[in-house]
Structure 1
Amino acid sequence: MTPSVETTSSEDSELSLPAPKERRRLREAAELTHDEVAAAVGVTAATIRSWEAGRTAPRGRKRELYTQFLARLAASPQEAGPAGAPGEAKTARAAEEPAADPPAADPPAADGPAADARTEPAEIPSEAPAEIPAEAPVRVPAPGPAEAFDALYAHAAHDLARQAYLLTGRRALALEAVEKAFVQAWDRWPEVAADPDPVGWVRAIAYEYALSPWHRFRPAHRHPDKPPAEPADRILLDALLALSPANRRTVLLYDGVGLDLPDTAAETEATTPTAGSRLVHAHADLADRIPELADVPLEKQSALLRDLLTALRPAVDLDPRPAVAVRGGGERRTRMWTRATLSLTAMIAVSTAYTVMTAPTHYEPPLAPGESVSGVPPLAGPQRLTERSKQLHDKLLADPEAGPARIAPKAG
């Protein structure tokens, strides 16, 4: 059961906040999930993951409540065991459970006190050793990658499909974006499994794909799907789709998912002041289009908008495909691309080897056979020299002297 958070005295507010690793250890030792801690403190599960990872730190009233909550976990009987690994307290309690079963099977006599009944199993030396091996806790093996992926898919796929629908207004594009994101997560599963927030990892990929501007050129995604049946839902969806993609994504993360402003800025790859400016402008645009937000003060618009986004009912079915089909489809595509790459590489290698073996090693000019060609005009140019002209030509070349003798050669 999740411990309740109360304000008891001023001494609780002076407690120091433990380190991020100690926060996680206390939660796991108490066998609490992120959702249970978030419900107790009054924040979202993503904020608790961010606090435990050390990416952000609680401030103000949330810090005081979170510090008091961790202090109660540290002082609870669950932490009475040795302060070791996070799962040691749970293991110790599991090991103690078989010892508590024999009194229930063999109740004490009606006239005996309760204290004697609690010590009765210790007085039976013959039956205790025989029951311990039979009731020893069974060690459950850790889930494999496929089981962990299926659990993540079952936990987040439907919510991500709804969020992608609010971003695009198109059912087919929303389901396609979620499937693409989970296929990429399965291809890079070691990285996703080690991420402190695997849902945020998949959500960022799905949002990027859903808001890609290239989808406007696809004939199947040019027009939105059937609008919601309720007029208020239609107004809300139309107002969201009228925002710019950056403002739409910021509003959905902050008001719909429940991230705080630093986490919203980090996921949208913007600074915190930029994310805050986008949020203010988006709220102003939504207030102009949605009557319910027009009369609400600024400090209450986020809560009302979150309720409206949660209550919106699409007119289309947003159930994604089973996790096995998505995982199998990703594996088939990976095998197909691998085979195509290997085939192309083999073709290039064979073509290169054939070219090297058949290519000539030196240039061989072509030998054109002589043929008689008719209709060609006679060669135009200087006529052949006569015998006298040859003698004059030779004389001019051989006699460097100047004078008439060069022009009129002597006879003889």
Structure 2
Amino acid sequence: MTRSVETTSSEDSELSLPAPKERRRLREAAELTHDEVAAAVGVTAATVRSWESGRTDPRGRKRELYTQFLARLSSPPQDGGPAGAPGEAKTARAAEEPAADPPVPDRPTPDRPTPDTQAPDRPALDRPAPDRPAPDLPTSDAPTSDARTEPERLPAEPPARVPVPGPAEAFDGLYALAARDLTRQAYLLTGRRALALEAVEKAFVQAWDRWPEVATDPDPVGWVRAIAYEYALSPWHRFRRAHRHLDKPPAEPADRILLDALLSLSPANRRTVLLYDGVGLDLPDTAAETEATTPTAGHRLVHAHADLADRIPELADVPLEKQSALLRDLFTALRPPVDLEPRPAAVVRGGGERRTRLWTRATLSLTAMIAVSTSYTLMTAPTRYEPPLAPGESVSGVPPLAGPQQLTERGKQLHDKLRADPQAGPARIAPRIE
């Protein structure tokens, strides 16, 4: 399918795209890198390498931009022309500027002509116009001598220092650039406003926690987009009460049909269609972001287009090679019935930092508790081994220990009589005279 789409778009395009080797030659002749070309066209550096190797070809709007960019590189720069793509000014300046600036001779002040300036047969090549003084020499009314003196030069001002944005400013710039679009894409994937906002915030919080890695990534927006898509399409959200039901459908019937058809696809096909047709990635980039091979991504795209054509009447009569352009227009024109405005970047960044501090404190508290309990156990534990006492065992042949027998009823009466009468004392052994 990809080859048929690329062939049709190349036939419809009015601009001719150079061969892959010629593309690389034009870029190297202009002393441009893959990143500069990618920034000018609006793709990633990996996509530019794929175009120059001939593995893939640009299509649609990217093809027109890339063809015009190469045409500007191949055409010679004109004086006074408008600035082209990024890197074109660099090539033009390299062609126009000489290798080294020639030394400028000392010029006399215009209000005090010298004998050299009055020579009629000497051409005035480096002499300024009579109505304007030399740009880099201050005018002075002080008298000058016949001998040429070195004019006083003003001290050169130091160049103004451009403040380098810190990590917080860079994060806020990335958030302002991609947060709103990612929220809309997450809504198209899930149909739930709360889940879409939560997925985008989770992705940006994780990006802020790992900002050195994200800042050096060739495509930071793609890094955040992959995390947001993974969180939004997680199957565990179905067990959450807040995300069990979809939001209210769009007001327009066409938008309602498009959203229902998109949500009826499997999560893998839904993500592939949104990346290829909605975001505008090439098939290799779509396969790389979905962690699949290029043929697998192509098969998913074909099946997804077939399912969408069965549910969307506008795609039924459209040729296969033009379905991507129509889907892109439908995704752009869809108007969600809910507000998808994300929270400010400072709030998201502060919430991530607060959550990190809480987890750090909880980890330190748990570690302290484990250390205290371990110390108490070491202090109270015995330092030597004490074997337990063996239980008693009966031995045969040994008579039991003799003791007082159980009293009979007669013995109890006698016992009671002896304890009660006579009383204790000498009277008990001495007879009492009555």
Q: Same fold (TM over 0.5)?
A: yes
Shift of 1:125: 2.2
Q: What is the root-mean-square deviation of aligned Cα atoms in Å? A: 3.7
Q: What does 1:180-199 correspond to in 2, within 5 Å? A: 180-199=202-221
Is 1:315–2:327 an aligned residue pair? no
Please list the CA deviations of residues 43-87 of structure 1 after superposition, one character each: whole Å capped at 9, or x if unmatched: xx2x254345x466465574655533443598866534459xxxx
C-alpha contact 1:235 1:289 (8 A) present in aligned 2: yes
2:88 matches 1:79: no
Distance 1:279 1:147, change over 3 A: same
> Where does 1:63-74 land on structure 2 (aligned, <5 Å)?
65-72=68-75
Q: Secondary structure at the match of 1:122?
A: coil
1:26–1:74 contact (8 Å) kept in structure 2 = no
Amino acid at match of 1:285: D
Q: 1:255 aligns with which of 277, 296, 309?
A: 277
For 2:280 and 2:17, the matched residues in 1 are separated by: 30
Q: Is 1:236 matched with 2:255?
A: no
SS at match of 1:23: coil
Sort the Cα spacing of 1:119 and 1:70 in 2 relative to 1 into closer, same or farther, 3 A.
farther
Residues 20 and 51, structure 1, Cα contact 8 Å, conserved in 2: no
Percent of aligned pairs sharing the same letter: 69
C-alpha displacement of 1:276: 0.4
Provide, for residues 314-355 of structure 1, a one-character-per-residue CA deviation record: whole Å limited to 9, x for no partner: 000101110000000111111111111111111111111110
Structure 1 unaligned regions, length at least 5: 39-44, 84-88, 90-114, 371-378, 385-412
Distance (whole Å) between structure 2 residues aligned to residue 312 and residue 164 of structure 1? 14
Deviations 1:337-379, CA, capped at 9 Å, x for gaps: 11111111111111111101110122335679x9xxxxxxxx8
1:283 aligns with 2:279: no
For residues 35 and 288 of structure 2, what CA distance do their matches in structure 1 show?
Answer: 27
> Against the structure 1 CA distance between its residues 227 and 194, is the aligned structure 2 distance closer, same or farther, given a 3 Å change threshold?
same
Greater helix content? 1
Query: 1:356/1:239 Cα in 2 relative to 1: closer, same or farther (>3 Å)?
Result: same
Residue 324 to residue 274, structure 1, CA distance change in 2 (3 Å): same
Q: Is the deviation greater in 170-179 or in 54-63?
A: 54-63
Q: Which residue pairs with 2:223 in the alignment?
A: 201
Partner of residue 345, structure 1 = 367
Question: Which residue of 238, 242, 246 corresponds with 1:220?
Answer: 242
Aligned length: 326
SS of equivalent to 1:318: coil
Aligned equivalents of 2:19 and 2:386: distance in 1?
99
> 1:266 is matched with which residue: 284, 288, 295?
288
Normalised by the size of structure 2, how large is the TM-score?
Answer: 0.66
Q: Runs of 4+ in structure 1 displaced over 6 angstroms?
A: 8-13
What CA distance in whole angstroms lies between the structure 1 residues aligned with 2:135 and 2:376? Answer: 89
Deviation at 1:193, TM superposition (A): 0.3
1:131-179 deviation per Cα after TM superposition (whole angstroms, max 9, x unaligned) = 963xx75221211000000000000000000000000000000000000
